[in-house]
Structures are given as C-alpha cells and as structure tokens.
Amino acid sequence: MTTTLVEFDDVSLRLGTTQILRNASFTLAPGESVALFGPNGSGKTTLLRLIATLLKPTGGSAQVLGADLAQAARINVRSHIGYVGHEPALYPEMTLFENTDFAARLSGKTSQEAMRALAAVGLDGAAERRAAQCSHGMRRRAEFARVLLSPPTLLLLDEPHSALDADAAALVNEMALQVTERAGGVVIASHDRERVHEMTNRTVELSGGTLVS
Amino acid sequence: MTSIPRQAIEILRRDLRRELRTGEVLWVTIPFGAIALLLIPLAVGTDIPLLRSLGPGIYWVVVLLFGVLVAMRRSGADNQAQRDFLALSGLDPAARFVGQATANALLLLGFELVLGVVSIALYDSSLTGWPWLLLILPIAAAGLALLGTLAAHIVESLGGATALVPLLVAPLSVPLLLGATQSMEALRLGRSILGWLLVMLIVMLTLAIAGILTARPLQEAQ
Amino acid sequence: MTRTYLQIAAIGTMVTALAAGLLVPADAVQGDVGRLMYVHVPGAWLAYLSFLVTLTASVAFLFTRKLRWDRIAVSSAEIGVYFTGLTIALGMIWAKPIWGVWWTWDARLILTAVMFFVYLGYLALRKTMTDPIVRAKRSAVFGILAAVQIPIVHFSVEWWRSLHQPATIIRPDASPQIDPPLFAALMMGVAAFTVAYVALMAVRIELARVDEAIDAAHNSNAVVAGDAVGRPNLKVEIHD
C-alpha cells in the first residue's frame, strides 16, 4: 500500500473525441477531503469515474488505493470505493428497501443490514415505497444508504448536495467525516462552493483539461 | 464478496421483479407476437390445411424475431449509473450475464407458451409427440435468450444502438430456427429428434461460454 | 510505393483474367452466361477469405490490444461484404437463365446470405462507436462470436438440406467435368481477385490509419472538455 490514496502523475484521459484531462497530476492523502470545482462540461463526473476505477487513463500513471488504473488489478480495490454519481442509479420499479437489499446481497451483506442502512439515512419509514415514487432527495439518501453498507476507504461524491434538505446535507458531512477519520479520503465534485468549502481541506479546479490546486 | 451463482440469482431476481412491476413482456411483447400470428394468415391465405402445414414454421419465426424484443426490453437494461454501481458492488460480470440470460430465458419460455396456445388456436396445429415440447421449448428459449443477452451486452453503453440487436441476432439464430422447426417436423413424421436437439444444445453451450468469457472485457470497454 | 505496385499488379492480373474469361470457348451447356462463373467463383472465394482474415485479426487484437489488427479486421470485413454482395448478385444473374429462378434454397446460398447479413451487422455495430479502443474491443467480440456461430449455421443448413432435397432445381454442386482451358480461366480469375484483395486491403488499411491519425490530431487540437460552454448572456436578443 502506498502512502497516498490517489496518485495521478501526468495523466491524460480522452473519451471519444473529447480531451478530459491533459497531463494532469493530483494526489489525495489519507484523511484528506478535496473539493473538485469546474464549470459545466469540464469533466468533473468523468474524473470522478476515473478515480472510481470505472475508466482507464489514456496516458500517464494513475494509482488508486495502490492499484494501477491501467492494469486489470484495479477491479480488486473496487470494494473499498464508495461512489454516488449524480445520475439516478436506483431501479425505479423497485422499492427503496429492495434497491438497498439488492446492493447488500451482491456484496454479501444481509437484509437486516440493508434495513439498518436505510434507517441510518432516515428512510426506514419509506422503505416500501418504489424509487419511482420518491423525490430526488429521497433517492439520493437511499444511494447513501447503499454506500453505508460497506464503509469505503475512498468516498467519491458527485453533486451530493443537489436536492437535499438540511438533514440530508448534514448526513453528507457526517459520512465524509467518518471516512476521513478512518484515514480514508473524500473527493466531492460540486458547484455549491460554500457548502463544500466547509467540509473539505483543499480545493482543486478542473479547467481546460488541467487540475489546479 | 458473494459467490458467482449467488450473484447470478440476485440478478435473476432483480430482472424478474422489474418485469413483474412493469409488465413489458406480458403486456407489450406477447400481444405484439400474438398479433403477428394473426396477421400472417391474412397475408398468405386462411384455408385450414395450408395453415395447418405452415403453422409451426410461422410460430417459430415469430418467436425468434419477436422474442428478441424480450432481450431488448427497457426494464431489463441498466443505465450508465446502474452499470457503475454494479461494477463497484463487486458483481462478477459473468454472474450478471448468467443472471440476465436466465431471466430472459424464463420470460421467453412464457412468451413461447402463450404464443403456442395462440398458434394452436389459430392454425389448428397438431400436437404429435407433445411431451418432447417440454424439452424443445426451454432449449430454444435458452438459446435465443443467450444470443439476445450477448448482443444486448455488446451494444450496451453505445447509446441508442439497441436497434442493432435484431440485426446481430437474426442471422445467427438460423440453427435455433432449424433445430426447433425440424424437431417439430420430425415429431410429426415419427422420426428421432435427438440430432436437432443436439444442434440447439451446441448453440446454447457455445453462446454460454462466449458470454461468460467476454463479460469482463465488455464491461471494462466503456 | 508498394501500394502502387500492388495496384498495377491487381489491374494487370484483372485484365488478363478478364481476357481469358472472354476468350475461352463458351461453356457447352450454359453458353456465354457461363462466363459469369469466372467472376462469381473468385468473388465467393474472396468473401470467405476476407471473413477468415477478419476473424484472425479480431482474435489477434484481443490478445495484443494493437489497433493495427483492428484496422485489418474492419478493412477485410468491408471488402468481404462488398464481394459477398457481388457474389450473390452475380449468382442470381447467372441462375435466372440457367435454373429459371433468381434464388434457390441451396445450403451454400443460404450460408452466403447469412454471412452477408452477419458482417453487415458487424459494420453497423462499428458505426455506433467513435472511441477506437472501445470500438475495436466490442467489434472483435462480435466478430469472434459470429465466426464461432457460422460453422454451426453451415452445419445445420447442410443437414436441413440433406433432409429436404430440392424438387426441381439443378443442384449447383452437380459439377460437370470442366475443360482444362475453362479451368485455367477460372484459376486466373481467382488469382486476379486475390491480388486485387491484397491491393484493396493495403489502401483500406492505410485509410483506416489516416482516419485515426486525423482523429488523434483533432483531439490534441484542444477539443477540451468544457470549452464549448461559454458565459451566459441574457442581453442576447432572442426575438426579432
């Protein structure tokens, strides 16, 4: 295990005809919490998916939790990564409980744990409601519940505050704090500068394919 | 981490549950196939002896062409965010393939059964050697499900490319079509059908192996 | 330079083969229509050859991850689809006067038609993808899947045919004795088409390489994420 959680050295990433990163370097140390800012379309989501090992860099050297992103071994660190994207990942036809339970069973957890995770995000009262009938904020909370099932070393959040009420926003802060207290790392892509500044130690701007600290 | 068979069962449960709630196969694909069975005689002629001889063939063509829609149904697909979630959840891509193909096979079997009843009613087909259908129908359903699932995985994440699935599936479904129709023909003539069953089983086996082996490279190529 | 020589060689052998095909005596049974065989048979040979090359290149790509194999795979598939189409069309033109029908349900014809559609699907699949690596990987998977299934298609169709002999049509493989000069003309056609295939491949592979280079140059020219989004300006006059 390296001393850093994420180590990007001269990393380039191209998707189709779009250059997302151009020789970008970035590190994330244990206990660190970083805010990722950037204008619309600058590639924040893609960068988060890259850190989440869901994409491979097209150039440079990228290590996440000790795994080289260019190598197949990157899939071995996935169970330590918690990622909540900004697109809905719940199945709309299934209830919040079924969605959480599905995640639990895939990773060898029990239905009781799924129910407790829902309770932890304040959704135990809505567990039997189908995701399609829930508000955006409720679906968000249910996705946080899925992350809570296996506490991650690396927490990646994409626009976590959108559509959240004060309680849910406090939940995001608490989750991030728990990860950093365990010497994990957090990256939050957001436009909500004020709120994110409060909960991070460092800011990185993504613009024109480069990362500026 | 859970074992691959366990994960496959979870995927199967998820797919069947989603179908149960949306009823896409039940309320859209099955009626569509039934209408096709109704339309074809209007085009080729409606006299009973003709339909009796064409019936099984028409039935299988409709099952293969319209059955592809089962593998293409919206409630059986994962969007980008859902695929990201699955990849990070520790789900083995091979388990996902097996689970989805099994769900598709079960739904296709239902599709075959309902359309079978419709086709017997409309075409007055004979049911000589019907116990063999208990083997022919599931094997054909499994073969087509594997082919459809594999094609759907190949075009997955290519935005709007789902229209390609029938073009990729139809030409390769020839052995399944021949296996199914020739088995029925052999039953009618009192011949052995084991050879044709073997052809369909070989198709099934090669597709299953191909699907399992390519699941990981296809998932990681996004 | 090599490409130019190849093209000259291809044109040269084509002209020679054409001359041979036109100058040999007409087929005793079929007459002048039989001369179509000098194009039809080499076309069919190329159809099979090119699909074999696509399969080999697809496998090679998956093992080496070198895009050059993908370029060979797509080039060969495109040329293969063209020659398969040509073979089917010429076969139909030949069949109408000789057999009295455009099409017959012969195993070889069915297989050729199936292959035509399979590789049309392969090319259509490629068109949906822009990223070269993703495209290469996904189409290689389909290329291999198709190649594994085609022998099964072939076998099942052959078997089906053996159970249902065609009623009235002359079987195409009821091959009569072929005169040596006619056979020589046929072989010249096969040689000419093969050289033409190699020449076309050389050009098509180069085209694929240039295409990728243009894409790459385009990308290094800063189509950077976010560049297309500017500052909002409500002073813009929206209505006339």
For C227, nearest residue in chain A (alpha carbons): A208
Would the CB atoms of A41 and C228 count as touching at under 8 Å? Answer: yes
Q: What percentage of chain B carries pLDDT values higher than 70?
A: 98
Which of A7, A12, A6, A9 minimizes the C-alpha distance to A59?
A: A12
In order of start, what are the domains of chain A with their CATH numbers?
6-212 (3.40.50.300)
Would the CB atoms of A106 and B90 count as touching at under 8 Å? Answer: yes
Would the CB atoms of B91 and A106 count as touching at under 8 Å? Answer: yes
Consecutive H or E run containing C194: helix C180-220
Query: What residues make up the domain containing B78?
Result: 4-220
More confident residue, B183 or A165: B183
Count of domains forming chain B: 1
pLDDT number for residue B156: 87
Please state, as a whole number, how many other Cβ atoms lie within 10 Å of the Cβ of residue A65.
23
pLDDT number for residue C98: 83
Closest by Cβ to C152, choosing from B160, B206, B221: B206
pLDDT number for residue A87: 84
Consecutive H or E run containing A199: helix A193-199
- Site of tokens 């949906």: C128
pLDDT number for residue C173: 52
> Is the backbone of residue C23 left (phi > 0), alpha (psi -120 to 50) or beta?
alpha
Residue B39: is its pLDDT beyond 90?
A: yes
Task: Tell me the average confidence (pLDDT) per consecutive run of 10 residues in chain C, 240 residues long.
Answer: 77 78 74 78 88 92 90 93 91 86 87 91 89 87 87 87 59 58 80 89 91 74 65 73
Would the CB atoms of C226 and A207 count as touching at under 8 Å? Answer: yes
Of A110-124, A166-180, C95-109, C222-236, the poorest mean pLDDT is in C222-236
pLDDT number for residue C170: 46
pTM for the structure as a whole: 0.88
Q: How far is A44 from chain C (nearest CA, A)?
A: 9
pLDDT number for residue C109: 87
For C161, nearest residue in chain B (alpha carbons): B178
Summarised one tens digit per residue, pLDDT across range A43-68 is: 888 899 999 999 989 889 999 999 99
Summarised one tens digit per residue, pLDDT across range B88-112 is: 998 999 999 999 999 999 999 999 9
Q: How far is B108 from chain A (nearest CA, A)?
A: 21
Q: How far is B158 from chain C (nearest CA, A)?
A: 7
- Count Cβ atoms within 10 A of the Cβ of residue B172 and give its class: 0-12 exposed, 13-18 middle, 19 or more buried: buried
d(CA C159, CA C153): 10
d(CA A87, CA B174): 40
pLDDT number for residue C166: 52
Average pLDDT taken over every residue of chain B = 92
Q: Which residues of C169-196 are buried (b: 16+ CB within 10 A; e: fewer)?
A: beebeeeeeeeeebeebbebbbebbbbb
Residue A1: is its pLDDT beyond 50?
A: no
